[in-house]
Structure 1
Amino acid sequence: MLLADEKQREIGLTHISRIKEMIGTRKNVAQETFDTTPPHMKKALCFMAGLKERHLTMKFQELNNTERLQVVSALNSLIDFTGTLPRFISDDDCKITTNH
C-alpha cells in the first residue's frame, strides 16, 4: 500500500528515472579496454586471461560471465604489474651486467 499522494508518487518516479539514466550511462572500463585494445595487445590480454584464440575477434559482450571475470582479473594483474615498473627503461639496459 502506497502512503504517498499522486504528486509525491510522480516526484519519486522522476527521481527513479534519473537514477536509471545515470546507471545506464556508466562506463564499463573492462569492456571499453577489451573492445578497443590493438590486436597484438589483445592477444597478450587473452593469453593472460587464459582465453583461446577465438576470443581475439570477440567483443566483451560476446564473452560469457566466466570469461569476462577472467579478463577483469587479467586487467587487474596488469595494473598491479605496471605499478611495479620504473617510469622509463633506457636502451642502455640492453647490456648485461654481471655485478648482481
Structure 2
Amino acid sequence: MTTYFLSVKDMEKAKGPDPELSFEGIGPDKLAADIAAAMRDDALFQRWRAKQPEPDEVDPSLGVTDAGASARGELSNGRTDVQLTTSLPMRIVKHRLNLLIGSSWELRDTR
C-alpha cells in the first residue's frame, strides 16, 4: 500500500476537463470520498472509457481497482489536503485524479 499526500490549493478550480466526469462537490470530506470511490470501483473509468472514440481499444489495465482504498481530507493553511491510501500505482491514481479534478492537485509526498 502507498499513501499519497495530495493538495488542492483552490477547490473552486477542482474540476476535471469533462463536466460529466468531474468532481462536483464542496469541501475536503466530499473530495476525499469521491477520490476513494474512484479508486475502489471502476465506475469513473467505465464512464470515461465509453466516451473515447474507440472504447474497445482503451488499455484495460487503466480500469484496475483497489477495494481497500481509503482517503481522508482536511483543510490546512488555506488549501485542501487529501491523504489517499491505495495499492494502485501512481499512473492510475494520476489518471483518475485528472478526470475528477483536472490539474488542480499537487502530489506533496508518498509513503
- TM-score for the superposition, normalised by structure 1: 0.26
Comparing both chains, which one has the higher relative contact order based on Cα–Cα distances under 8 Å and sequence gaps of 6 or more? 2
- TM-score for the superposition, normalised by structure 2: 0.24
Q: Could you say which structure has the higher helix fraction?
A: 1
Q: Could you say which structure has the higher strand fraction?
A: 2
